[in-house]
Amino acid sequence: MIVVLSKNVSVHDKELVRIYLRDRGFAVRDQQFGDDQVIGATGKGVVDLRELGLLPGVERVAATSKPYELVSRETKAEDTIVTVGEAGNVKIGGSRITVIAGPCAVESREQIRETAERVRESGAVLLRGGAYKPRTSPYAFQGLGMKGLEYMKEAGEACGMPIVTEVVSPELAVDMQELTDMFQIGARNMQNFELLKKVGSLGKPVLLKRGPSATVEEWLLSAEYLLAAGTKDVVLCERGIRTFETYTRNTLDISAIPVVKSLSHLPVIVDPSHAVGIRAKVSSAALAAIAAGADGLTVEVHPRPDDALSDGPQSLYPEQFEKLMRDIEALAPVVGKELLRTPQPNRSTAAFRGSDSPAGGAALSGKPVAYNGESGAFAEQALMRIFGEEAPRMQVQSFKGIFDAVLEGSACAGVVPVENSLAGSIHENYDLFLRYPDIAIVGEVKLRIVHCLVADERASMDSISIIRSHPQGFAQCRDFLDKYPSWVLEACNDTATAVASIAREGAVKVAAIAAAAAAKVHGLKILKEGIETNPLNYTRFLVISRKFSGGPGPAGAGLAGAAWVPPSLGSERPDKASLVFSVPDKPGSLFACLKIMAESGLNLSKLESRPIEGKPWEYQFYADVSIPEQGDFFAVMEEFKTCSEDFRFLGAYRGSL
């Protein structure tokens, strides 16, 4: 049983609740869940829940049906997001996929540093490695101990990566706590309860691996030990269970991922390396885990696996890991997630983005991100994918309002849709870039659009007579709507507004076409999910920020200006740029521009013409181009500018797959 205390509960009232529970036969413990103070009560005591709920300082009482109370989703419905590292930019859970990578064991300072650099370059954000290795054979390599942990910490700091390492005894946990950012409880120690209690009491994040013969309930009860002991950040790791199969090292229990996520609010990641134990099969198992809903992966990578002192056959070569990361990035939008990226130290992007000037980043830090629509809108989902679930948000009533908020500085950035894979470009927003020359594009995300039929709890398919949504929502669900010709369609500014209107009115004859997130936010139910005609339905959102003058500015500032880049977008080198241009009215003028791109190795991924406002029958072109690793991109743009007219550089940013 969980007792959630009021936000302003006094020490006296809290103690009275504790005494009340003890007097009735319960063991009690304090716990913190986000902003909520809770008291966990376990044992065979008996209590009147109504009487308990009336005690001063008690907000609500949650009686769970599971033996693991703190871990249970009955206690906490929202997903827990675990933050690792002092910088706080590595998060596990929510809408992002977090990848941990590194060798099985730290073998030398050079080996762990080389591995850290290679996996960081490919996109890993947490460094793994064993300093203490529990091995089946007493003669196998047992790790370098504290010296290995020091090497690992050094490599992690150099590459801007928090570290996670296994702890094998309560005594070592105390010695290791200053050097590690996250403890790992290995599969063999999952039910080492004294170790769980000690590690939990230290308050650091913990990665808890499932034992090779453990049931899901035993695994969750081990997590309960950690939470009960004091830590609030636990990540569950499925790493394969022991079965009769001999073609792989273990059997990856893919079904455990959705099962555990339905039972618990804790994030779940997968270790495909230990699950299959064969290098050639690791990537396939990893992608299957992401498709099943895992929040991340922990993967063994070694620069020279054939020479590894432990688990060489299951360790990926850096080149294999790089390909896996690209595959994950391509798969992530399909499952409604984004690959987590974090800033890399000592990697300059000034040639493209400029740096935070006092007038720029410092002034905008901590301000909200603007989007159009109500809570639960697809734009809000894109915002959270980029900035995280905790990001402060500002709702505005129009796309123009987003640009205004960013320009005025009331929002640090904005998220605007510009293109749908089925309906095409949203020209209104493309045209706004021309009207707001001080706004630049600094990021991009592609969001899969899954439409649901959302209605009041009392509604049914038979009771509905009116459907509300954005016109594009109607168009994208035409095959479904054609089955119900009697329904009346009412257009709204956006899909989430349609849902909000039903919630406000309590209408049972009205349903909305919108995202599942909107139904959850407004307390409505989903009558039918996935009603879009074409499942390959994606919307491309751009992140916009304000340009600043007077700062150091990037090379090519005459083209782009120095735009503030939100820290959540990381500091990776931009690989994509957007521009608008027109060409002289003479034969071959467009060809001359495109020839410059072709000869400079710039891949043109989009080219679309639009009428020029106030100039009938004259057109301008919107273009997206790749930025190659080699060569002076801005020099090419300067050359391009000479053969075009009304050239406008909209921004350089990291493209999304």
pLDDT in tens, 507-533: 899 999 999 999 999 999 999 999 999
Q: Same structural domain for residues 252 and 159?
A: yes
Q: Same structural domain for residues 457 and 442?
A: no
Q: Same structural domain for residues 556 and 497?
A: no
Rounded Cα distance between 273 and 204, Å, is: 25
What's the total number of domains in the chain?
Answer: 4
**Does residue 33 have an active-site annotation?**
no
Return all residues near 544 (Cβ < 8 A) that are at least 6 apart.
402, 403, 406, 413, 414, 415, 416, 439, 440, 441, 442, 651
pLDDT tens figures, 359-414: 444 455 678 999 998 899 999 999 998 888 888 999 998 999 999 999 999 999 99
Would 67 be classed as within a structural domain?
no
Would 77 be classed as within a structural domain?
no
Strand arrangement of the beta sheet that strand 466-469 belongs to = 488-491, 466-469, 510-514, 452-455, 525-529
Report the relative pairing of strands 615-626 and 604-612 from DSSP bridges. antiparallel
CA angle, corner 547, sides to 619 and 577, nearest 5? 50
Q: Which domain holds residue 407?
A: 350-448+538-653
Q: If you write DSSP's letter for every residue of 560-587 in order, what string do you get?
A: H-EE---GGG--PPP-EEEEEEE--SST
Report the relative pairing of strands 562-563 and 538-548 from DSSP bridges. antiparallel
Q: Same structural domain for residues 525 and 550?
A: no
Question: Residue 232 has which token pair?
Answer: 């609030």
- The pLDDT of residue 357 is 40
Would 74 be classed as within a structural domain?
no
Rounded Cα distance between 631 and 627, Å, is: 9
**pLDDT band, residue 650 (cuts 50/70/90):** very high
Q: Same structural domain for residues 262 and 312?
A: yes
Would 444 be classed as within a structural domain?
yes
- The pLDDT of residue 360 is 45
The average pLDDT across 608-625 equals: 88
Q: Same structural domain for residues 556 and 479?
A: no
Strands (E), 179-300: 182-185, 206-209, 234-238, 268-270, 296-300
**pLDDT band, residue 39 (cuts 50/70/90):** confident
pLDDT above 90 as % of the chain: 63
Q: Same structural domain for residues 223 and 321?
A: yes
Q: Same structural domain for residues 206 and 246?
A: yes
Q: How many residues does the chain have?
A: 657
Would 344 be classed as within a structural domain?
no
Domain CATH number, residue 268: 3.20.20.70
Would 70 be classed as within a structural domain?
no
Active-site residue, selected from the candidate residues 298, 474, 539, 634: 539
Counting Cβ atoms within 10 Å, is residue 434 exposed (0-12), middle (13-18) or buried (19+)? middle
Of 318, 339, 360, the residue at which a domain comes to its end is 339
Domain CATH number, residue 36: 3.30.70.1140
Q: Same structural domain for residues 375 and 436?
A: yes
pLDDT tens figures, 415-429: 999 998 888 888 889
Q: What pTM, to 2 d.p., does this model score? A: 0.76
Active-site residue, selected from the candidate residues 541, 581, 640, 647: 541
pLDDT tens figures, 277-314: 999 999 999 999 999 999 999 999 999 999 999 899 99
Of 309, 339, 369, the residue at which a domain comes to its end is 339
- The DSSP H or E segment spanning 639 is helix 633-642
More confident residue, 437 or 256: 256
Closest CA to 422 of 376, 472, 489: 472
Q: Same structural domain for residues 131 and 200?
A: yes
Would 416 be classed as within a structural domain?
yes
**Does residue 539 have an active-site annotation?**
yes
Rounded Cα distance between 80 and 235, Å, is: 9
Q: Same structural domain for residues 119 and 227?
A: yes
Region at 561 (left for phi over 0; alpha for psi -120 to 50; beta for the rest): left
Of 282, 314, 339, the residue at which a domain comes to its end is 339
Closest CA to 356 of 417, 413, 415: 413
CA angle, corner 597, sides to 595 and 600, nearest 5? 105
Return all residues near 501 (Cβ < 8 A) that are at least 6 apart.
468, 492, 507, 510, 512
Domain CATH number, residue 641: 3.40.190.10
- The DSSP H or E segment spanning 386 is helix 378-387
Would 412 be classed as within a structural domain?
yes
- The DSSP H or E segment spanning 432 is helix 427-435
State the amino acid at position 546 in one-letter form.
R
- The pLDDT of residue 47 is 86
Query: To which residue do tokens 């199969």 refer?
Result: 245
Strands (E), 25-95: 27-33, 36-42, 58-62, 82-84, 90-92
SS3 272: helix
Residue 350: pLDDT over 60 = no
**pLDDT band, residue 138 (cuts 50/70/90):** confident
Q: Same structural domain for residues 95 and 196?
A: yes
